[in-house]
Structure 1
């Protein structure tokens, strides 16, 4: 909910167009994919839902295509449900010379996954509130069985963004690229265990946008502990005070 408010106020207060935010989100994910997998000569299967998460996936497909990677897009759902910026990106991608298919045959998707280098999961975003069922569940389970490197956009599909709960079934990602701030579902189990390596992109939000008492999460660089003197004695390293409960608690 906090992240959805950030998106809304970014558009309202700073006149950051939704098209720019989606473009920046897709570009951020593209750079992670390029770093972790490489692009040129690689084959990617992008499985896109029909919401904004799918719109991010369509931007990524366009970026991969422009850098001589092979992008095969599978639309999971009715393309008529695309709205706003996501619809615009679908129209753009439809004009490019890349493959766009609908998930109608599980056999077709299975063959594509068997011959790709990596999968981009752009099915559901952080707003998922009901259990994943039917073909959506089948596709997620197929992704998990593929053995391929998986990149999830914002949050692994099937994870509740507000709680970290698995909504029936969920993608087990190797990498997750989230935007603005980590969502609760990115950092609490069991969702955390499905994210793999987590990347966070600010997608052009100004620093002042994060300085709000309403935000209950903050990213800090871990404090680096000083190197221990190899010749040191235990008395050289200071004392530790433990404030603990009953002696039988461990």
Structure 2
């Protein structure tokens, strides 16, 4: 296959996979009377910001902040606990194969449908006064993110040579210093890769937010998006506009951390 033909195929595939995004972007700027018409055009004939203005008036800014706080808090907690758990599972020896039993338990929890743990999690949050609160949501999201982070970080921690830690130990470094000065810098690409995926899980989560949040001012973006598809009408303009708004932070984060993400996958493959 010649270079020109290869590039042509790549461009066609790129357009094919980006078509839904382009459609969403174009519809977000179309007036209501235009996107319900019969014409199939990606670009708006009379661009407008009416859908974005409507979202701002309905409090999309507060919901965006809520989602950002929950996603960042969930990711920070998951990465901290998962990094310590992965390090312990790789470096320490446990009696009676407790490490394998723990990993099996983590895998089982990850494979369970979220609705299975919804009632126990509801009772836990109620006992902790965490219902209808953002911190309670961060805690409940660990059901999604923590098992994923542990399994993903295991591979990265295993790639770090034990000799480096042994050399640091000979120089008088304790466990905390070895973690912060040796293991953490070497595992940084893996942490960044795990961070992005954990953030995506927390950013897009809907079920637990629906079950545990009742106050509209505490809604996250997935809950807020659901309010625009009602029994009587679907507000396509607002849905497309909020789709653009909710996608931008994650795209910016992934673009900024892309180099570290590729390094993380390179480490995992070796």
TM-score range, shorter chain: under 0.3
Instruction: Give TM-score scaled by structure 1 length.
Output: 0.23
Higher strand share: 1
Bigger relative contact order, structure 1 or 2, given CA contacts below 8 A and separation 6+? 2
Higher helix share: 2
